[in-house]
Amino acid sequence: MIFLSSILRDIWHYTNYWSQYLIAVIIVIVIIYLILEHRDPNKTLSWILVIILVPIVGLILFYFLGKNYRKKRIFTKKGIADIRQTEKLIAWQSEHLLDDLDIKNSNVLSKIGIIKLLINNNKALLTHNNKVTILNNGNETFPAIFEALKEAKHHIHLEYYMIEEGEIGEQLKSILIEKAKQGVEVRLLYDDVGSWGLSNEYISDLADAGINAHAFIPVRFPRFAQKINFRNHRKIIIVDGKTGFIGGLNFADRYLYGVQDVGFWRDTHLKIEGTSVGSLQVIFLTDWYFTTAQLLNEQIYFPKFNPCEKCLVQIATSGPDSDWDSIMQAYFYTISTAHNYLYISTPYFIPNESILTAIKTVALSGVDVKIILPSRNDSKLTYYGSMSYIKELLEANVSIFMYNRGFTHSKVLIVDDIISSVGTANMDLRSFDQNFEVNAIIYDEKISVKLKEFFLEDLTYCEKLNLETYNKRPIARRIAEGIARIFSPIL
């Protein structure tokens, strides 16, 4: 018995030694991989620190979340058949941008660099003759969406991060099935992680009605690791190629009734009628082709329609398939050009160094910078990560407001009554680098002023942070923020 115990002990020591040796070798290989990849230094250092401090957990997290597939182009966009025509139009618009009377006769001329940036880094056409309607929260957004869906005559295209079964999810399904029975083409792309709770029965009901529903980048073993980290966070609806919706709201009951932990759910969405709907259509059809290999480029998906209003809009996208971090660059340039005021509302604030420096710089130059963040968040780690940036922002004269009415999920940026952005991209590294996102960049004084009014109304539900008071927060809170800050580049 003693002899057997001795053998088992020797085996344990031998196995333990070689397992530790193997882990050490893997850690060295991963660190070399991180260094050779030339990614963001802060992100590299964060991963190295996590892997060294908690080796097993760190290696598992890196396997699922840290590997960078951007250079491998596993998300290569294959485009649509008329891409050459699009590129010719983009080249022409870039060359003749200063001849555009709508720009010449407006204060948009002062922001023309942003328009050129998005044309060059994102092939985002500047579209005219748009009517933009701001929709606040679920009580305005869902009725507008459902009304538009019910009026569809030819096709309905939806691309959504999250669809949850519940009152809103059932309403959506019922309308889509009814329209499909009427002969309307209905296509749905849903993110396989964001809509993880969607039942097979729900999808089967759609399929039985003739609706084409597909998961965007399905997450299945053994390719789980390379897919879970890159998600389709877009929220796009196109009805008959004439009406589009874009913004922060998913199809979930929380946008009407809130949730127990955080309460009321504040968000912003847009209804767009006009030529920029064609840009939304191109995004959907490209993602549809990527997912299904089905090419749809018939003219009926790009109808001509008479000018309604003169709102200038660019639809910007970004994702792991992008050559440039287009939306992040648009945020950076827009922030940097602020002269009078910069207002930002975002649920998750984990900026890279460029965005953080731009915000602090314009604030120190005398620009009125206000940022609304949620006082209650659906992610504790992200919340503390966001709060870790507060001190340096306050020291740079940035006004920080904590939203107390519930949880603000709005992703809104407004500058100088000239330019505004509403969409799906948060002010965080995941939105900038890893998720598929889409934002509407609007060059219109009326829309900017209206969004500013809603922003100022939200301030009435906020508590303004004070640097002196903030510096007195408990030590445990500071430690939590410090730890979250270390992890922030990889959140």
- Residue tagged active-site, from 157, 370, 411, 452: 411
Identify the CA nearest to 348 among candidates 411, 396, 289, 255: 411
Note if 233 is an active site residue: yes
- Residue tagged active-site, from 128, 173, 227, 233: 233
Per the document, the length of the chain is: 491
CA distance 326 to 331: 9
CA distance 327 to 94: 19
Note if 235 is an active site residue: yes
CB 400 within 8 A of CB 470: no
- Residue tagged active-site, from 111, 235, 242, 269: 235
CA distance 16 to 8: 12
- Residue tagged active-site, from 267, 416, 444, 458: 416
Give, as one character, the DSSP assignment of residue 267.
Answer: -
CB 144 within 8 A of CB 135: yes
- Residue tagged active-site, from 100, 191, 192, 240: 240
Residues near 286 by beta carbon (within 8 Å), at least 6 away in sequence: 77, 78, 79, 80
Task: Count Cα neighbours of 395 within 13 Å in the Cβ-side half-sphere.
Answer: 7
Chain position carrying tokens 């399904």 = 173
Q: Report the sign of the C-alpha dihedral through residues 151, 155, 159, 164, in that order.
A: positive
Q: Report the sign of the C-alpha dihedral through residues 30, 325, 40, 368, in that order.
A: negative
- Residue tagged active-site, from 123, 242, 370, 409: 409
Note if 240 is an active site residue: yes
**Catalytic site positions:** 233, 235, 240, 409, 411, 416
